[in-house]
Amino acid sequence: MANRLEHRLVAAANADLRRHRFVAPVDVLIGLGWLSKEHAEAWRRRRVPYLEQVTEASLGKLSSALRILQSWAQSEGLQPRETIYVSWTPSRHRLRFTKTGEENLERAYRTHWISPELIEADQQRKAEAAARRAVLLADKLEAVSRAAFLAHRMTAEDPGSDPELRATVDQAADDWPGGAGALVTAIADAAPDTFALLAGPLSQHPDPAVALAARRAAPEAGQSRRPAPEGKTRSRSARPRKGRRRRQR
């Protein structure tokens, strides 16, 4: 009986994995025929108090299915991600899966098993979005910095004296993952040429994390603006001409 259940469950889970690149216990229950889509929707709309009330399997079978799913997912190298289920109603009420609300069972139901390829693609998408945002912030900071110089509010002797530049950095760092230091590093990586102009003022920021990140990133940003070595750019006239005999010593 257990082998038959495992075979059916793995088939349903594989179908969901091919379709979505992740597996959710609720979808597996639908694939097994233990939960109709109509009942699942009624649960999502809070027309039933908890999911197990409208399933067509005993509590013992449901528990076995959750254990088999977890074991199979781990053997396939899938990564667990807890998902908060909320109702499809204006109140967005958090939904329950079991009558008792037992935490281990609730967690097993709300855990999705994610393909590593999907995680990698999501991380790449987030990194690209962060890089684009960092470039925009770098341009904004450069504009603020240049305006401060033109208004004589910032001088070469006191590059960190402009409060507007500090305020712009602090405001952008409020919702940046990792805080202000991570923001400065991201700007340096995404827009090194622009950051080379900002490194001095930012290294004088009163926040130690910002100042340290700016000083660490400044040498790398400066390299992107450094001219090519003289030996690689010498003019044609400096090269020995063909046919000219070398002077004998």
What phi and psi values does residue 23 have, to the nearest 5 degrees?
Answer: -125, 130
- Of residues 45 and 122, more confidence is placed in 45
- CA–CA separation, 65 and 46 (whole Å): 24
CB 109 within 8 A of CB 51: yes
What sections of 76-207 are H helices per DSSP?
Answer: 103-110, 116-150, 163-173, 179-190, 192-203
| Cα 2 from chain centroid (whole Å) | 39
Give the model's pLDDT for residue 229. 47
- Residues 224-232 have a mean pLDDT of 47
- CA–CA separation, 191 and 64 (whole Å): 53
Most confident of 53-57, 132-136, 184-188, 222-226: 53-57
Q: What percent of the chain has pLDDT over 90?
A: 43
Give the model's pLDDT for residue 64. 95
Instruction: Write the pLDDT tens digit of every residue in 187-204.
Output: 888 888 878 777 777 888
- Residues 162-191 have a mean pLDDT of 80
Instruction: Write the pLDDT tens digit of every residue in 14-73.
Output: 999 999 889 999 999 999 999 999 999 999 999 999 999 999 999 999 999 999 999 999
Most confident of 13-22, 101-110, 217-226: 101-110
Q: What does pLDDT average to over the chain?
A: 80
Residues whose CB falls within 8 Å of the CB of residue 110, separated by 6 or more in sequence, listed in order: 25, 82, 83, 84, 85, 97
How would residue 228 be classed by pLDDT, with cut points 50, 70 and 90? very low
Give the model's pLDDT for residue 159. 44
pTM score above 0.85: no
